[in-house]
Amino acid sequence: MDDDTKLLNLALDAGEIMMTSGAETYRVQDTMLRILSVSGRKHVEALALSTMLIVSLPREEKGPLSMARGVSDRSVNFEKICAVNNMSRSFVAGKITLEEATQKVLEIHYAPSFAPWQRILGYALTSGGLTMVYNGTFWDGVAAFFIGTLLGIMTYIMSKRKTSYFFSSFIGGLLTGLLACLFHLILPFTQIDMMIVGSIMPILPGITLTKGIRDLLEGNFISGNAKLMEAFLIACAIAAGVAMALSIFPNF
């Protein structure tokens, strides 16, 4: 491989990691453009659409070079976004060479994350804390803490088996609704709506929705529309799950 191909590969790898880690569209494009600008050529182009990345490098002597890559996996991982950002900055500043940067991207791809029990604790804290924020009582908060724990365990199992996002959201909503109804049966003074609203918070696509609207306002219409659609489908799946649970217990 010549240096141009390696450079394009580096830009695509960096863009793919950022895209799957939930970075904003403009940041992905910006990072890829910055990496490509190292080549010193004019009119380089980097595009990030909702599920694909395209980079191209016009070369006068050997003919233009262009590469594309599909991105299907998506999650949220801030650590990787920060790492790629730092890597691209020091690469553009000339502190690391192309080979070192490629090696670095590979390391970032396999970077360790929080242990499963820590992430499950994160779900529990988010559910419990937000139930208390929305004016829930102490026992609502405790119940939501337990619901959040089980939700975290479920999400962990689902992500291990690579279930489709629609199905896992549906099961998440169903589980939340069923557990909230059960808690209400055992402890009649807890409020079902408080527990459900707080507990679905960590799986709700509020961030995707907000990012989608922001993409639209910035003029990235394709990724904006795709994100809006994704957020809408996930919200529908969660609502369908909760609705099914609530119709199993029709008295509430």
Partner 1 sequence: MTDITLKMIVFQAAFSFVGSWGYSIICNAPRRELLYSGINGFLSWFVYMLVFSYTESATTATLIATMAITATARFLSYHRQEPSILYQIPGVLSLVPGAAVYNTMQAAIKGNILSTYSNALTGFKLSGAIAIGSLIILVLPYKAFEIFPRFGKKKQNN
Q: How many CB atoms lie within 10 A of CB 152?
A: 24
Distance separating alpha carbons of residues 162 and 112, to the nearest angstrom: 19
CB of 67 to partner 1, least distance (A): 25
118 is an interface residue for partner 1 by CB under 8 A:
yes
CB of 21 to partner 1, least distance (A): 8
Which is closer to partner 1, CB of 7 or CB of 200?
A: 200
Distance separating alpha carbons of residues 245 and 232, to the nearest angstrom: 20
Distance separating alpha carbons of residues 210 and 248, to the nearest angstrom: 33
Here the tokens at position 1 are: 């491989």
Q: How many residues does the chain have?
A: 252
Binding to partner 1, residues 187-246 (CB under 8 A): 193, 196-198, 200-202, 204, 206-207, 209-210, 213-214, 217-218, 235, 238-239, 242-243, 246
Of the residues 5, 68, 82, 99, which one makes contact with partner 1 according to CB under 8 A: 82
6-14, 42-50, 65-73, 78-86 -> range binding partner 1 (CB under 8 A): 78-86
Instruction: Tell me how far CA of residue 113 lies from CA of 18, 84, 119, 132, 171, in angstroms.
Output: 15, 15, 9, 28, 25
128 is an interface residue for partner 1 by CB under 8 A:
yes
Which is closer to partner 1, CB of 9 or CB of 85?
A: 85
Instruction: Tell me how far CA of residue 207 lies from CA of 60, 76, 184, 214, 228, in angstroms.
Output: 43, 10, 30, 10, 10
Which is closer to partner 1, CB of 8 or CB of 178?
A: 178
Cβ atoms of 130 and 141 within 8 Å: the answer is no
Which is closer to partner 1, CB of 117 or CB of 167?
A: 117
CB of 9 to partner 1, least distance (A): 21
Task: Give me the phi and psi of 45, to 5 degrees please.
Answer: -135, 140
The SS3 of residue 197 is helix
105 is an interface residue for partner 1 by CB under 8 A:
no
95 is an interface residue for partner 1 by CB under 8 A:
yes
Residues of this chain that bind partner 1 (CB under 8 A): 22-24, 27, 76-83, 85-87, 90, 95, 104, 113-114, 118-119, 121-126, 128-130, 132-135, 141, 193, 196-198, 200-202, 204, 206-207, 209-210, 213-214, 217-218, 235, 238-239, 242-243, 246-247
